[in-house]
Amino acid sequence: MTNNDVLRRIRYTFNLRDEKVVAIFAHAQCKVSETQVQNWLKKDDDATMVELADVELASFLNGFIIEKRGRKAGEQPKPETTLTKNIMLMKLKIALQLQNDDIIDLLASTGFTLGKSELTAFFRKPDHKNYRHCKSQFLRNFLQALQDKHRKPYTPKKSKNKPTGAVASDIENEQVDTSYKSARANASKLYVNPNATKTASKKSTRTVLKLKPEDIYKNSK
């Protein structure tokens, strides 16, 4: 892994904007521009990509520690001019306040198995007999584990006009029934019984008895 790779992965994992990266450099008294940051973040096959020097990445990691944990009183540590992956790992461990068990658990989530004694060897001084050199594969798996844990998934912004909460849920789940339209239209039509006979529609032929007033009272006397 190159220094540029490490910067890209940290920026992506923690959702750092270019101006935030500039501010992190500033924590370590290292002044850079957004244009410089953008050139460091370009792909390796881009002709305008600029390689990130050891001292520059060390400054960023020192600033990252201050960003995450605050500035310590007194003189601030100077950035290393020669940066090993062991030092990168140590600075990230300090910045994120990780214990050895935390790192082992993080790596296990990526399928990378490591014993505590093996991990401790990375943090020993180079002249120690049990010192172990940190390789790119290990650092890559560690950065991937950090990404899996800290990278926030993208969530699209909600429309201002779109209902939210229970109301939105009810509207989305509601099935619009348009059958009432046809029912209303049919109800307005006159129902005709297809089985009715023609005689049913004829006028009644019943004879009505008509009486005169004198016929009604003629027997009442």
CA separation for the pair 206, 158 (Å, rounded) = 76
Per-residue confidence (pLDDT) for residue 75, from 0 to 100: 86
Does the residue 70 lie in any domain? yes
| Of 84, 39, 90, 82, residue with least CA distance to 64 | 90
Q: What is residue 199's DSSP assignment? A: G
Quick one: pLDDT at residue 72? 87
Report helix, strand or coil for 34: helix
How many structural domains does the chain have?
1
Contacts of 89 (CB under 8 A, 6+ apart): 122, 123, 134, 138, 139, 142
The answer as to whether 166 is a domain residue is no
Look at residue 91 and tell me if it is in a domain: yes
Note whether residue 158 is domain-resident. no
Structural domain contains residue 218: no
pTM of the model: 0.69
pLDDT at position 44 is 93
Domain containing residue 67: 3-150
Q: What is the mean pLDDT of each run of 10 residues along the chain (221 residues)?
A: 96 96 97 97 96 98 96 89 97 97 93 92 95 94 94 64 50 44 48 52 53 53 47
- Answer whether 62's CB lies under 8 Å from 91's CB: yes
Contact status, residue 103 vs residue 60, Cβ threshold 8 Å: no
